[in-house]
């Protein structure tokens, strides 16, 4: 049978069926904003969904409300996975909407309710026992070859309800959205690439969107995810959701000491040379940071990358505590919560340890004693303080050596690229997502009578005769 071209195109369109539950907006907790309610309703109806919303937009409250209704529907355990210390923060947020969340470390701790554990404990659980899985800070999936990425996708492949939440789903490239697609169960990473992307020249590591597939890609993405930087992206008002000013201060330390292996100070050209330059300037950078932090009594986060930096900073800064990789998880959690609750003024830590998930709007000052080349780590670290709900202007001090080369420029370039990508995601998907979300509302008209109805005598007689 001959098929015309329009039928052929329609046969290639990838559609995603709803597999969740349809509830009334009035069933959602009134603590949530209207736009948060609409997003949760959309996620519940999809069943499997991703929330790519900016830091401070209330992803924790939305995921807890989602978990509550999935548990009510399935009457079986739900598991939330979160970064270290974020679990305690999530439990506190849950209490705001009268939802109790059980902190657990092994399968024996699980209750028939909503449970939460750190990603590090995932191997202690039986994924088949849960009807729903929620990933807090799901950017943990971003690396295609990452251990957690593969383990999580394989373990929860058959879980009926899934929710992924992060502000940075694809910090470097649209391709990274394929990892979330595979977790949700829409398309595998390779299927997404073959459907919407093409090799960019001869470099098999780089892909770009096919020109003729772009509109279908945005439509496809909008069917299983919500992308939002602020409420107005989806047609709501931004009242209360405006970021304060971000003041970035770049401080370059002049070094007269050459890096290891060199007779004279030379600007780093390679990654190895950059690491060597950081090592050779530790004392100067630590001294400058201590000068800045000790000059005030306000809360401060001090971000670093090297253990030696952390050790020296904790000694040089009055009242500081450090968190390092060698510390056990209990100490890490305890120290982060001390900082959250205001019992600790200065926290010295690494973006790789404390840079995800924590809400530290009580702090408006931070320093980076050197930078790595990871834009996502920098972005997430800054967003611990510079997020919706922050009342003060945020000051970020970046202290580097003149020998480190263009590391700050490199981060700025990656940041500009990432922001352009986020703007593009919002630009192409906001209308579709807004339509999808608002179409889940049940349309009802309410009639308010202004006069009492008069029933005809003959109708009364008919009614009485039927009994």
Three-class DSSP category at 76: coil
Per-residue model confidence (pLDDT) at position 408: 75
161 neighbors 48 (Cβ within 8 angstroms): yes
Three-class DSSP category at 156: coil
pLDDT digits 0-9 by tens, 68-93: 999 999 999 999 999 988 999 999 99
Per-residue model confidence (pLDDT) at position 361: 94
Gap between the Cα atoms of 168 and 292, Å rounded: 30
344 neighbors 318 (Cβ within 8 angstroms): no
**Is residue 335 situated within a structural domain?**
yes
> In Å, what is the CA distance from 274 to each residue of 36, 304, 407?
44, 15, 8
Per-residue model confidence (pLDDT) at position 466: 42
Identify the CATH number of the domain in which residue 133 sits. 3.40.50.300
Same structural domain for residues 65 and 82? yes
- End residue of a domain, out of 210, 240, 270: 240
**Is residue 5 situated within a structural domain?**
no
More confident residue, 404 or 371: 371
Residue 303 has pLDDT above 80, yes or no: yes
Residues of the domain holding 308 = 246-415
Same structural domain for residues 300 and 389? yes
Residue 181 has pLDDT above 50, yes or no: yes
Same structural domain for residues 253 and 222? no
Per-residue model confidence (pLDDT) at position 416: 81
Same structural domain for residues 229 and 83? yes
- Window from 32-41, 85-94, 279-288, 384-393 with minimum mean pLDDT: 279-288
- End residue of a domain, out of 179, 208, 240: 240
Half-sphere exposure in the Cβ direction for 114 (13 Å, CA): 23
Non-local CB neighbours of 412 within 8 Å, separated by 6+ positions: none
Q: Which of 202-216, 363-377, 409-423, 440-454 is the most confident on average?
A: 363-377
Same structural domain for residues 186 and 273? no
Per-residue model confidence (pLDDT) at position 272: 67
The greatest distance separating any two alpha carbons of the chain, rounded to the nearest whole angstrom, comes to 111
Gap between the Cα atoms of 80 and 310, Å rounded: 31
Name the pLDDT band for 317 (thresholds 50, 70, 90): very high
Q: Which two tokens stand for residue 204?
A: 């098999």
Question: Any bridge partners for residue 105, and if so which?
Answer: none
Same structural domain for residues 219 and 253? no
Same structural domain for residues 264 and 391? yes
> In Å, what is the CA distance from 8 to each residue of 3, 14, 15, 186, 449?
7, 13, 15, 21, 53
**Is residue 411 situated within a structural domain?**
yes
Q: Which of 224, 73, 228 is nearest to 162 (CA)?
A: 224
Task: Read off the pLDDT of each residue in 166-173 and give the average, rounded to a whole number.
Answer: 80
Same structural domain for residues 225 and 91? yes
Residue 247 has pLDDT above 90, yes or no: yes
104 neighbors 112 (Cβ within 8 angstroms): no
**Is residue 97 situated within a structural domain?**
yes
DSSP string, 15-29: -----S----GGGS-
Domains in the chain: how many in total?
2
- End residue of a domain, out of 396, 415, 434: 415
**Is residue 354 situated within a structural domain?**
yes
More confident residue, 322 or 264: 322
**Is residue 62 situated within a structural domain?**
yes
Gap between the Cα atoms of 436 and 222, Å rounded: 8
Gap between the Cα atoms of 283 and 313, Å rounded: 9
Residue 462 has pLDDT above 80, yes or no: no
Per-residue model confidence (pLDDT) at position 143: 66
**Is residue 387 situated within a structural domain?**
yes
Task: Read off the pLDDT of each residue in 268-278 and give the average, rounded to a whole number.
Answer: 66
Same structural domain for residues 169 and 283? no
Residue 10 has pLDDT above 60, yes or no: no
pLDDT digits 0-9 by tens, 409-437: 777 788 787 777 788 888 888 888 888 88
Name the pLDDT band for 443 (thresholds 50, 70, 90): very low
Same structural domain for residues 128 and 235? yes
**Is residue 426 situated within a structural domain?**
no
Same structural domain for residues 233 and 253? no
Task: Read off the pLDDT of each residue in 265-274 and give the average, rounded to a whole number.
Answer: 59
Q: b vs e for 109-127, b when ≥16 Cβ sit within 10 Å of the residue's Cβ?
A: ebeebbbbbbbebbeebeb
Same structural domain for residues 209 and 253? no
pLDDT digits 0-9 by tens, 202-236: 555 677 788 778 888 888 998 999 999 999 998 89
Per-residue model confidence (pLDDT) at position 173: 76
What is the average pLDDT value for the chain, to the nearest integer? 85
């Amino acid at each position: 049978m001959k098929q015309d071209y329009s039928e052929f195109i329609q046969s290639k369109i990838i559609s995603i069926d709803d597999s969740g539950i349809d509830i009334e907006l009035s069933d959602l907790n009134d603590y949530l904003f209207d736009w948060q309610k609409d997003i949760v309703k959309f996620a519940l109806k999809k069943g499997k969904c991703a929330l790519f919303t900016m830091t401070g937009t209330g992803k924790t409250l939305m995921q807890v409300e989602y978990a509550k209704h999935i548990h009510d529907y399935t009457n079986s355990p739900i598991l939330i996975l979160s970064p270290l210390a974020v679990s305690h923060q999530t439990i506190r947020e849950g209490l705001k909407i009268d939802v109790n969340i059980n902190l657990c470390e092994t399968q024996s701790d699980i209750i028939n309710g909503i449970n939460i554990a750190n990603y590090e404990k995932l191997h202690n659980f039986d994924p088949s026992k849960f009807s729903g899985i929620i990933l807090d800070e799901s950017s943990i999936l971003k690396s295609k070859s990452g251990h957690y990425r593969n383990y999580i996708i394989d373990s929860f492949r058959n879980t009926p309800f899934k929710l992924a939440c992060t502000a940075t789903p694809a910090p470097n490239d649209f391709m990274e959205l394929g990892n979330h697609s595979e977790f949700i169960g829409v398309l595998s990473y390779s299927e997404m690439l073959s459907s919407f992307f093409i090799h960019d020249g001869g470099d098999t590591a780089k892909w770009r969107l096919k020109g003729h597939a772009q509109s279908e890609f945005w439509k496809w993405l909008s069917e299983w995810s919500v992308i939002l930087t602020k409420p107005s992206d989806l047609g709501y008002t931004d009242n209360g959701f405006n970021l304060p000013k971000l003041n970035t201060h770049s401080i370059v330390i002049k070094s007269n000491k050459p890096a290891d292996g060199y007779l004279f100070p030379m600007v780093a050209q390679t990654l190895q040379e950059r690491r060597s330059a950081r090592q050779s300037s530790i004392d100067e950078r630590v001294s400058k940071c201590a000068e800045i932090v000790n000059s005030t009594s306000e809360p401060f986060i001090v971000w670093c990358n090297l253990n030696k930096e952390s050790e020296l900073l904790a000694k040089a800064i009055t009242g500081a505590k450090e968190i390092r990789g060698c510390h056990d998880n209990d100490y890490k959690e305890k120290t982060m919560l001390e900082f959250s609750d205001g019992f600790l003024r200065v926290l010295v830590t690494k973006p790789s340890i404390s840079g995800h998930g924590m809400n530290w709007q009580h702090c408006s000052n931070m320093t980076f004693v050197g930078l790595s080349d990871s834009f996502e780590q920098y972005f997430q670290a800054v967003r611990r303080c510079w997020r919706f709900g922050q009342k003060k202007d945020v000051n970020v001090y970046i202290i580097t050596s003149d020998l480190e080369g263009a590391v700050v420029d490199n981060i700025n370039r990656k940041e500009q690229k990432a922001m352009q990508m986020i703007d593009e995601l919002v630009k192409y998907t906001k209308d579709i997502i807004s339509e999808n979300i608002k179409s889940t509302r049940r349309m009802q008209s309410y009639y308010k009578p202004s006069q009492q109805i008069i029933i005809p005598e003959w109708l009364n007689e008919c009614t009485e005769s039927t009994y």
